[in-house]
């Protein structure tokens, strides 16, 4: 039956390439992917999917569903289509979105025979304020049995882990004064930020090696002869697991409060971006995908890389069995978030990567719908997480 899926890919391969290339030449930033969303949803509607837009209050989020005539699991493919400032699709989201759309369309052609249903979830703003977070929180995955997304890379790698992350802003308010004539009348908000950095640097010695804390001073005063009455710092705080991250964040909050006490400034703490949870790869699902990718591409799938980044797919993996593998262009050392990476997506190698990714995802969805032992193994692993 997988031969039939391969035939379906051949029917739509040119469509997928055209869509991916169109996204490349017309990049849109997160939560502004209006035309990108229309491109993908219009195609899915033509293929018989029922489309709902504006999920979780995000205008460019969507859900496209193909319900089979027989009962069975519901498989979700996640589509990203936001670009980066300056380099456009330097993270290859033009491929990610079209690979997921392609996989869903391919699988939908067999759904009526084998049972189940297939969903494409359009997830805006992965690079900034990922929509997968509110989708996970607000029950979008409550009826989903498995969620998959595949990301382009230099080489192919298994789905691995990612760090949980909080994006925290510390805004200090002091009192302005002439820094030379009457400094005693001022309260220096910038000094609070400097003490915050010093305190965090002292904390690093007493944290596990997986923790990453990095920040900037986004506001620190306007003139050297005026005591700054306002200063703002923004930090990303990351750790391998959410529970430990929460402990670290509490320590950082206490340091920030201490810095305010040292200077007499007042402090407001807020999150300036959504928090991401750590990625939990479902090994049973991952092994099935790796097997299919090796079969489709004819190349190896390397062990997961050590990750010190954070992805909103981590939140998805907390509520449903999920994978986030990487599919290679076959160019070792090619770095994401660069123009070279973006340009690779519209080459012959990029188009082949698109086809391989869509078919591997479709094969894996087919396996879940037809192999009860695989489905049960995936679910048992997830329930024991």
- The DSSP bridge pattern shows strands 230-239 and 164-173 to be antiparallel
Which distant-in-sequence residues (6+ apart) come within 8 Å of 223 by Cβ? Answer: none
What's the CA angle centered on 62, arms 291 and 25, to 5 degrees?
Answer: 80
Q: Which region holds residue 365: left if phi is over 0, alpha if psi is between -120 and 50, else beta?
A: alpha
d(C-alpha 233, C-alpha 316), whole Å = 29
d(C-alpha 10, C-alpha 13), whole Å = 5
CATH 3.40.718.10 is right for the domain spanning 164-271: no
* Structural domain boundaries in the chain: 2-162+277-383, 164-271
pLDDT number for residue 9? 97
pLDDT number for residue 148? 98
What the block records as the tokens of 43 is 């195609």
Rg (CA), the chain: 23
For residue 204, what are the CA distances in angstroms to 139, 200, 214, 307? 37, 6, 11, 19
Are the C-beta atoms of 90 and 134 separated by less than 8 Å? no
Residues in the chain, pLDDT under 70 = 385
CATH architecture of 2-162+277-383: 3-Layer(aba) Sandwich (3.40)
pLDDT number for residue 69? 86
d(C-alpha 357, C-alpha 103), whole Å = 8
d(C-alpha 153, C-alpha 335), whole Å = 8
What sign for the dihedral angle of Cα 141, 146, 152, 155?
positive
pLDDT number for residue 6? 96
Q: What is the pLDDT of residues 77-126, one digit of tens each?
A: 999 999 999 999 999 999 999 999 999 999 999 998 999 999 999 999 99
Helices (H), 122-180: 132-137
Nearest to 50 by CA among 136, 123, 118: 118
What sign for the dihedral angle of Cα 310, 316, 320, 322?
negative
Strand partners, 271: 168
What the block records as the tokens of 226 is 């005026």
* Residue 295 DSSP symbol: H
pLDDT number for residue 131? 97
């Amino acid at each position: 039956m997988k031969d039939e899926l391969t035939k379906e890919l051949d029917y739509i391969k040119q469509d997928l390439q055209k869509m991916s290339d169109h996204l490349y030449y017309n990049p849109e930033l997160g939560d502004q992917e209006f035309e990108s969303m229309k491109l993908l949803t219009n195609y899915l509607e033509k293929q018989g999917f029922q489309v709902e837009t504006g999920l979780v209050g995000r205008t460019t989020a969507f859900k496209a569903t193909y319900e089979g005539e027989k009962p069975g699991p519901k498989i979700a493919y996640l589509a990203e289509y936001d670009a980066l400032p300056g380099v456009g699709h330097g993270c290859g989201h033009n491929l990610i979105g079209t690979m997921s759309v392609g996989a869903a369309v391919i699988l939908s052609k067999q759904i009526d025979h084998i049972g189940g249903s297939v969903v494409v979830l359009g997830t805006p703003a992965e690079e900034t304020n990922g929509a997968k977070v509110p989708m996970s929180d607000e029950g979008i995955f409550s009826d989903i049995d498995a969620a998959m997304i595949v990301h382009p890379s230099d080489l192919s790698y298994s789905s691995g882990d990612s760090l949980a992350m909080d994006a925290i802003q510390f805004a200090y308010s002091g009192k302005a004064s002439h820094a030379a004539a009457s400094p005693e009348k001022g309260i220096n908000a910038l000094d609070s930020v400097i003490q915050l950095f010093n305190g965090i640097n002292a904390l690093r010695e007493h944290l596990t090696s997986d923790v990453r804390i990095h920040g900037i001073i986004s506001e620190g005063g306007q003139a050297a002869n005026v005591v700054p009455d306002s200063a703002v710092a923004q930090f990303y705080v990351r750790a391998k697991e959410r529970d430990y991250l929460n402990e670290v964040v509490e320590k950082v909050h206490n340091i920030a409060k201490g810095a305010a006490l040292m200077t007499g400034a007042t402090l407001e703490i807020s999150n300036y971006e959504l928090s991401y949870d750590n990625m939990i790869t479902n090994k049973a699902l991952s092994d099935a995908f790796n097997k299919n990718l090796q079969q489709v591409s004819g190349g190896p799938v390397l062990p997961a890389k050590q990750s010190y980044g954070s992805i909103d797919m981590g939140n998805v993996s907390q509520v449903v069995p999920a994978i986030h593998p990487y599919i290679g262009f076959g160019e070792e050392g090619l770095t994401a978030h660069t123009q070279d990476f973006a340009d690779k997506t519209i080459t012959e190698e990029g188009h082949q990567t698109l086809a391989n990714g869509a078919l591997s995802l479709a094969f894996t969805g087919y396996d879940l719908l037809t192999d009860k032992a695989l489905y049960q193994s995936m679910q048992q692993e997830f329930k024991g997480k």
